[in-house]
């Protein structure tokens, strides 16, 4: 049972607790199990709060900022190259990934070595 609405009052947790026949328990982080009189169990996610906010463990901000940066650069690329592109699927230029990675490392205060010209040549041999 989860709440994907707008407010934290859409699930009547007090009534759910009244219906349970044994104490509820946390089966794992953000999942509380309530046992009904017929033996069925109801798993409540995120204490009835908005599930995408209360249980959002899958995409930390450290990943989302990279995703949003790529989306922005993709839109910028499309805008700048709209007259050159056909109406088909494209793979974005690798330079966009490199630019985002460099910006992220810079924001984190991390430096990275650069390849020598000899290494670049070796990597791009056909």
pLDDT at 72: 94
Same-domain pairing of 28 and 47: yes
Q: Nearest CA to 96 among 104, 106, 107?
A: 104
pLDDT at 53: 75
- pLDDT tens by residue, 16-32: 999 999 999 999 999 99
pLDDT at 71: 94
pLDDT at 80: 95
User: Which one has a higher pLDDT value, 112 or 48?
Assistant: 48
Global pTM reads 0.48
Predicted confidence band at 126 (pLDDT cuts at 50, 70, 90)? low
Which residues, 6 or more positions from 55, have their beta carbon under 8 angstroms from its beta carbon?
Answer: 2, 30, 45, 46
Q: Nearest CA to 42 among 17, 8, 67, 60?
A: 17
Same-domain pairing of 65 and 90: yes
**Residue 48, domain extent:** 13-54
Q: Nearest CA to 100 among 81, 123, 78, 76?
A: 76
Same-domain pairing of 37 and 68: no
Q: Is residue 4 part of a domain?
A: no
Predicted confidence band at 113 (pLDDT cuts at 50, 70, 90)? confident
> How many other C-beta atoms can be found within 10 angstroms of the C-beta atom of residue 67?
11
Same-domain pairing of 26 and 49: yes
Rounded CA separation 62/95 (Å):
20
Rounded CA separation 49/43 (Å):
13
pLDDT at 45: 93
- pLDDT tens by residue, 48-106: 988 877 777 666 777 788 889 999 999 999 999 999 999 999 899 999 999 999 999 99
Q: Is residue 49 part of a domain?
A: yes
């Amino acid at each position: 049972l989860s709440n994907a609405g707008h407010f934290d009052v859409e699930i009547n947790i007090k009534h759910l607790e009244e219906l349970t026949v044994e104490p509820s328990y946390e089966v794992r982080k953000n999942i509380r199990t309530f046992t009904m009189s017929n033996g069925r169990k109801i798993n409540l996610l995120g204490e009835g709060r908005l599930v995408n906010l209360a249980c959002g463990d899958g995409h930390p901000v450290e990943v989302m900022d990279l995703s949003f940066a790529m989306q922005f650069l993709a839109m910028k690329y499309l805008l700048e190259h709209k007259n050159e592109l056909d109406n088909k699927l494209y793979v974005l230029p690798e330079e966009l990934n490199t630019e985002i990675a460099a910006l992220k490392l810079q924001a984190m205060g991390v430096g990275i070595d650069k390849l020598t010209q000899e290494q670049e040549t070796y990597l791009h041999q056909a």
